[in-house]
Chain A
């Protein structure tokens, strides 16, 4: 009984780390640009397909590492392109409804383009460790899952270094706190927008490779990461990166435990139950501060 609980918690943490990774990109973009991007999960989908092709070309763990890097680069580029074409023109309009709806349009477009080009058949990403299981005493898990967790953790740490130790990273944080003050300090705001979108999308791309590894890769897979990333982001307070990291782990563990001890059928709805409860009590999310400008 106790070992089952620990086992489930471990599984939840591993899945949660991927949720965190995808949600960080979403929350960064919201923090800096006030854009709620419903197409964010489709960046993850594109990342997963990049991995499918890289792994077909270079098998084994080398291909796996290569696909994470390739996914980050390709999806980062896609992020820049979509920001320039779709979101930038709306930045002067400032209505939530327009940006959300344009991102829904992008979501519909991307997932159906993927269906058009890649076909509807789900694909699995090859396991470089051929299913090797690691025994950790009370609990056990697969090598692959440990690798997923490791990749999430490393990416999150690297991101923290980028945000806190580089000029661009600090500029991003400054813009997120107060756009106008940042502009007055001589920060090139359009450059910050582009970088934020590129980094946010790249994180989703990496997350997509990991998500595709844990589940499956298919054109319509983007809806789930989008919704989960939003749940995590709201849980952690929109725009709050640290909140998104915690939120991801909370959702991952809550889903696994809720699915196991309450009702398996409602596993994917547990996140929604949580945020409806949280928002009823605290409309800015669990870790949310009062909204600034």
Chain B
């Protein structure tokens, strides 16, 4: 069995397990956590595209998430537009803002970009708080419609339970993953990484860095907005807090702990943090202490200092070690 078939076999196996998961484990709370982890995965993948692959530290990412959520919710609530269209409308609106934010990002880097993007998100959050007629202010929007049923001939698929959303989110994660993977492995993605590692060098070999930066901001914002819209139609509650700095910090923590600039990192980070949070909440209740964020702060620092590639890097190293010891044994057994 060569490496290629093994890779595909592994993928099919993972897909099969994921597809059957809700049939095996039917606990609604567990499925709820998996759905949330899926939404965070999309959000973190989109952030990773900017920070991990292009080196653009966007600390206003929560704004895109919020824009997607508000757009889709308001379209459904005020105009009665189907949430299915809303998901894409939310993504596209966020993409438009990402496109706009791409322009200042052309000339800024490091702390300048970080503060400008925070400013962008904070201004939007204040708009959401103060435009009470449209957004109901800090109360937020509630009673957002669920995803509408789909009719396929005689089959009527309703979206009501966690299990139903599980499949929607699974599909969304897979599509996002596919897109991000194609993007990063294409000439576009390689150019982005060149831009990250040496902007002047990238320009000197003819990469139009300006166009690439704006493009990656637009694409990243689209997926973040899509994730926000998905969240809105699942949780059915959207508030300006979605756009607050701590949402971006959560995303950043997931990406970093999972492995910045890797494909598996955002998935690992989102799943680990989502489930760890629940477990820690249980511990907190037991001992009556708020230690969850203390631990995340500590984990973030330790990851950057000692484990720059996060869990993904750790797993890769482990796999390499296994591989090399296997090859070593093979050589020994040869006559």
Query: Footprint of B on A, CB under 8 Å?
Result: 30, 36, 86, 89-90, 96-98, 100-102, 104-113, 115-116, 223, 227, 230-231, 234, 238, 265-266, 268-269, 271-273, 275-276, 279-280, 283
Question: Is B120 in contact with A100, judged by CB distance below 8 angstroms?
Answer: no
- In the complex, what's the smallest C-beta–C-beta distance from B302 to chain A, in angstroms? 8
Q: Is the interface of A mostly helix, strand, loop or mixed?
A: helix
Using CB atoms, name the residue of chain A closest to B299. A105
Question: Is B115 in contact with A275, judged by CB distance below 8 angstroms?
Answer: yes
Cross-chain contact of A272 among B57, B107, B119, B293 (Cβ < 8 A): B119
Question: Is A279 in contact with B123, judged by CB distance below 8 angstroms?
Answer: no
Total contacts A-B at CB 8 Å? 119
Task: Given A89-B305, A100-B57, A273-B123, answer yes or no on A279-B108 (Cβ-Cβ < 8 Å).
Answer: yes
Task: Given A108-B293, A109-B297, A280-B104, answer yes or no on A269-B126 (Cβ-Cβ < 8 Å).
Answer: yes
Question: Is B126 in contact with A104, judged by CB distance below 8 angstroms?
Answer: no
Question: Is A275 in contact with B116, judged by CB distance below 8 angstroms?
Answer: yes
- Chain A residues positioned under 8 Å from B55 (CB to CB): 97
Cross-chain contact of B249 among A108, A265, A266, A279 (Cβ < 8 A): A108
11 contacts between A and B (CB under 8 A): A90-B304, A100-B111, A100-B114, A105-B301, A109-B294, A109-B298, A116-B290, A266-B126, A266-B130, A269-B123, A279-B112
Is B82 part of the contact surface with A, judged by Cβ < 8 Å? Answer: no
Question: Is B110 in contact with A112, judged by CB distance below 8 angstroms?
Answer: no
Name, among B290, B300, B308, the residue most crowded by chain A CB atoms within 10 Å (CB to CB). Answer: B300
Cα separation A266 to B174 with both chains bound (whole Å): 40
Question: Is A101 in contact with B111, judged by CB distance below 8 angstroms?
Answer: no
- Chain B residues positioned under 8 Å from A106 (CB to CB): 297, 301
Cα separation A266 to B107 with both chains bound (whole Å): 26
Q: Which 9 A-B pairs have the closest CB atoms?
A: A109-B297, A272-B119, A105-B300, A108-B297, A96-B110, A36-B111, A105-B301, A112-B293, A112-B294
- Chain A residues positioned under 8 Å from B122 (CB to CB): 227, 268-269, 272
Using CB atoms, name the residue of chain B closest to A220. B246
Scan residues 86-144 of chain B and give those whose CB is less than 8 A from a CB of chain A.
Answer: 104, 107-112, 114-116, 118-120, 122-123, 126, 129-130
Given contacts A105-B253, A106-B297, 5 further A-B contacts (CB under 8 A): A101-B256, A227-B115, A265-B126, A265-B129, A269-B122
Is B237 part of the contact surface with A, judged by Cβ < 8 Å? Answer: no
- Chain B residues positioned under 8 Å from A268 (CB to CB): 122, 126
Is B24 part of the contact surface with A, judged by Cβ < 8 Å? Answer: no
Is B291 part of the contact surface with A, judged by Cβ < 8 Å? Answer: yes
Task: Given A108-B249, A230-B115, A268-B122, answer yes or no on A116-B294 (Cβ-Cβ < 8 Å).
Answer: yes
- Chain A residues positioned under 8 Å from B305 (CB to CB): 86, 89-90, 102
Query: Footprint of A on B, CB under 8 Å?
Result: 51, 55, 57, 104, 107-112, 114-116, 118-120, 122-123, 126, 129-130, 245, 249, 252-253, 256, 260, 289-291, 293-294, 296-301, 304-305, 308
Task: Given A97-B51, A104-B252, A227-B118, answer yes or no on A265-B130 (Cβ-Cβ < 8 Å).
Answer: yes
- Chain B residues positioned under 8 Å from A113 (CB to CB): 294
Using CB atoms, name the residue of chain B closest to A283. B107
- Chain A residues positioned under 8 Å from B300 (CB to CB): 101-102, 104-105, 108-109
Question: Is B111 in contact with A279, judged by CB distance below 8 angstroms?
Answer: no
Using CB atoms, name the residue of chain A closest to B103. A280
Cα separation A281 to B134 with both chains bound (whole Å): 33
- Chain A residues positioned under 8 Å from B299 (CB to CB): 105
Question: Is A30 in contact with B111, judged by CB distance below 8 angstroms?
Answer: yes
Cα separation A231 to B119 with both chains bound (whole Å): 9
Cross-chain contact of B115 among A96, A234, A273 (Cβ < 8 A): A234
Question: Is B129 in contact with A97, judged by CB distance below 8 angstroms?
Answer: no
Cα separation A106 to B114 with both chains bound (whole Å): 16
Question: Is B301 in contact with A102, judged by CB distance below 8 angstroms?
Answer: yes
Cα separation A45 to B303 with both chains bound (whole Å): 25
Using CB atoms, name the residue of chain A closest to B121. A272
- In the complex, what's the smallest C-beta–C-beta distance from B122 to chain A, in angstroms? 6
- In the complex, what's the smallest C-beta–C-beta distance from A270 to chain B, in angstroms? 10
Using CB atoms, name the residue of chain B closest to A115. B290
- In the complex, what's the smallest C-beta–C-beta distance from B205 to chain A, in angstroms? 22
- In the complex, what's the smallest C-beta–C-beta distance from A242 to chain B, in angstroms? 19
Cα separation A96 to B196 with both chains bound (whole Å): 11
Question: Is B249 in contact with A36, judged by CB distance below 8 angstroms?
Answer: no
Using CB atoms, name the residue of chain A closest to B298. A109
Cross-chain contact of B104 among A30, A271, A279 (Cβ < 8 A): A279
Using CB atoms, name the residue of chain A closest to B255. A101
Cα separation A275 to B109 with both chains bound (whole Å): 14
- In the complex, what's the smallest C-beta–C-beta distance from B97 to chain A, in angstroms? 14
